[in-house]
Amino acid sequence: MLTIAVVGRPNVGKSLLFNRLVRRDVALVHDRPGVTRDTLATQCRWRGRAVTLVDTGGIGSPEGGALDAMVRREAEFAMAAADVLLWVVDAREGLHPLDASLARALRRASKPIVIAANKADETAGLYLDHEFCRLGFGEAIRVSAAHGHGLRELTEALLGAAPETVGPSAPTNSARPLRWAIVGRPNVGKSSLINRLLGSDRALVSDIPGTTRDAIEIPMTETRGPGGASMLVVDTAGMRKRTRLKDTLEARMTSRSVHAIHRADLCVLIVDATEGVLEQDRKIAGIIQESQKPLVIAVNKWDLPEAGRWQPPRHAQAVRDLPFKRRFEDAVRRGLFFMGHAPLVFVSAHTGSGIPALLSSVGQTAKTLATPIPTPALNQVVQDALAKQPPPTRQGRAFRIYYATAHQEPGSWNPPRIIAFCNDRRLLVDSWLAFLENKVRAAFRLEGIPILWKWRGREPDRPDR
């Protein structure tokens, strides 16, 4: 989806032009009154190409702030949100000091810019649009929002300026293999699981080529996982021997895990079925959460309860009406409540059961990490969340989100970063953010994947929360 943001100083005719450009299109994809007013984004179709037109007007307005700061904020918003910028200037007034200021801000973005010199109402007239050439963004296109002149040329120029890579969302090809770490406290079965993975038919490899100081990396190609992503398993168990004997067991465990977690793109936390979630498991999960790494939970040794050789711990018996496996899962999720949304699989390193499901969960998470979140769909989810459960007001003021856009670094396995433009981030309360996050997570299959929010508001700058 091509996203075009309309920028420009006040009164050049942005709103009128925006409406013209949208109305030109007979088949508005969705025009929901009350929703679009707040989102500032409207979808339309130009020459068969789906376009999201974003109006930055109002985003920047600081309450009683300087015009200059406001314009720059709009530019910042547009640069973050859009593939192409439509910069509207006034053909009759020529270059204004605010335009020059805006130009400085826009120059920092490596985004294509199309300049529309608006209010060129008559075919002949004294227009100062040539002044904008000096800024180095190319020639301005003369348009009249009032009379509808020049709109075809403008849309052609905008489509022509669009980068070719902007198209239907497709998984990006990550440059390097996904690195996943198998972590857990001692004796949960990490080594056994690695051995099982090494032994399993197609899963692997050559003999431990990269023995690093921190971990043993085992290159493996998992063909059964979606996308056939290439992966590296980091085996923390292999590091045991190198740690000093006088360290306490916990210290050794923790430092190994921390290293492995920091180096990993994805963590598989092994929980022992015979013991359930213990404090140590929670600690490791906490490190995974703080490191903002995606997580898959694997409950190992499931062969024991399956063979009826072991009775579930008391905490797993809490909800009696559920089948045992569900109850157990429930208990594990409650034990790791802060990461309770992560995919959870039951495995046995001894019998090999559940291993394909584990690999498939890892593969699915990798696939999700490599798939961009489409901006229109994201905004739909955000607006639905705002409508369904309006955020609590503070001193009579309501929190609003105008627009959100997700950014995934191409070629990396980093979790998505969502830049959200709001009226005042100080109005955002944690409980509502949690609600929103759940909605976003459900919509884009981000189970087990952290979401990094970056809030852009109009209030004076503060560090991101």
State the minimum distance, in angstroms, from the CB of residue 294 to ligand GDP: 21
**Cα separation of 217 and 205, whole Å?**
11
Q: Is 252 in the site for ligand GDP (CB under 6 A)?
A: no
Q: Is 20 in the site for ligand GDP (CB under 6 A)?
A: no
Q: Is 61 in the site for ligand GDP (CB under 6 A)?
A: no
Give the CA distances from residue 314 to residues 74, 210, 273, in Å, rounded to whole numbers and listed in that order: 57, 43, 13
Is the CB of residue 120 less than 8 Å from the CB of residue 144?
yes
Q: Is 12 in the site for ligand GDP (CB under 6 A)?
A: yes
Q: Is 118 in the site for ligand GDP (CB under 6 A)?
A: yes
Ranges within 154-193 binding ligand GDP (CB under 6 A): 184, 186-192
Q: Is 103 in the site for ligand GDP (CB under 6 A)?
A: no
C-alpha gyration radius of the chain: 27
State the minimum distance, in angstroms, from the CB of residue 369 to ligand GDP: 26
Size of the site for ligand GDP (CB under 6 A): 31
**Cα separation of 409 and 5, whole Å?**
21
State the minimum distance, in angstroms, from the CB of residue 243 to ligand GDP: 13
- The dihedral through the CA atoms of 350, 353, 357, 359 has a sign that is positive
Neighbours of 169 (CB within 10 A): 13
Q: Given candidates 325, 350, 400, 445, which one binds ligand GDP under the rule CB under 6 A?
A: 350
Q: Is 198 in the site for ligand GDP (CB under 6 A)?
A: no
Q: Is 216 in the site for ligand GDP (CB under 6 A)?
A: no
Toward ligand GDP, which CB reaches closer, 55 or 76? Answer: 55
Give residues with Cβ within 8 angstroms of 156, minimum separation 6: none
Least Cα distance to 39 among 337, 390, 421, 365 occurs for 421
Is the CB of residue 150 less than 8 Å from the CB of residue 117?
no
Q: Given candidates 349, 381, 386, 436, which one binds ligand GDP under the rule CB under 6 A?
A: 349
**Cα separation of 98 and 104, whole Å?**
10
Q: Is 311 in the site for ligand GDP (CB under 6 A)?
A: no
**Cα separation of 463 and 370, whole Å?**
28
Q: Is 393 in the site for ligand GDP (CB under 6 A)?
A: no
Toward ligand GDP, which CB reaches closer, 148 or 209? Answer: 148
Q: Is 142 in the site for ligand GDP (CB under 6 A)?
A: no
Q: Is 352 in the site for ligand GDP (CB under 6 A)?
A: no
Which of 392-410 are b and which e, b meaning 16 or more Cβ less than 10 Å from the residue's Cβ?
eeeeeeebebbbbbbebee
**Chain CA centroid to CA 414, Å:** 9
Kindly indicate which of the ranges 113-121, 157-165, 243-251, 289-297 contains the residues binding ligand GDP, using the contact rule CB under 6 A.
Answer: 113-121
Toward ligand GDP, which CB reaches closer, 120 or 381? Answer: 120
* Interface contacts to ligand GDP, rule CB under 6 A: 8, 10-16, 57, 118-119, 121, 144-146, 184, 186-192, 237, 300-301, 303-304, 348-350
